[in-house]
Amino acid sequence: MSFRVNLTLRAETDVSEILQYIRERSPQGAATWADRFDQVLAELTESANRKPLAPENGDHEEEIRHVVFKTRVGKKYRAIFLIREDLVLVTHVRGPGQDLVPRQEMPVS
């Protein structure tokens, strides 16, 4: 199955903040991170339904999934998403050390 992928405003803000943080330390690192994130989004168009349930899934009506990806130096990031029919809705992007997404921050269906 092929999915469309959209980011919520919250996810777009997360990406912007992550890129700004990395860019201040390494412009090349930010470009590499952005390329890797684009690859993750492309993967979701084909395999979102095969990604694991996220730790946040336990207390929500909809299935919450995530995909973990790493930077070249091994720092882990998570793209957290919902699947609604043929739409993948990326709701948050979390970086190293960030807490789980609170239930009240997840979109309501």
pLDDT at residue 109 in the model: 66
Q: What pLDDT is stored for residue 107 in this prediction?
A: 82
Tens digits of residue pLDDT in 37-56: 999 999 999 999 999 999 99
Query: Can you tell me the distance from the alpha carbon of 84 to that of 98, in angstroms, rounded to the nearest whole number?
Result: 26
Rounded to whole angstroms, the Cα distance separating 13 from 9 reads 6
What is each CA distance from 49 to 18, 35, 43, 85, 96, in whole angstroms?
26, 22, 11, 10, 24
Q: Which of 29-33, 61-65, 71-75, 98-102 has the lowest mean pLDDT?
A: 71-75
pLDDT at 71: 86
| pLDDT of the residue at 83 | 97
82 pLDDT higher than 90: yes
What global pTM score does this model have?
A: 0.93
Measured distance CA(16)–CA(84) in Å, rounded: 25
Query: Domain 4-98: what homologous superfamily?
Result: RelE-like (3.30.2310.20)
- Per-residue pLDDT, 91: 97
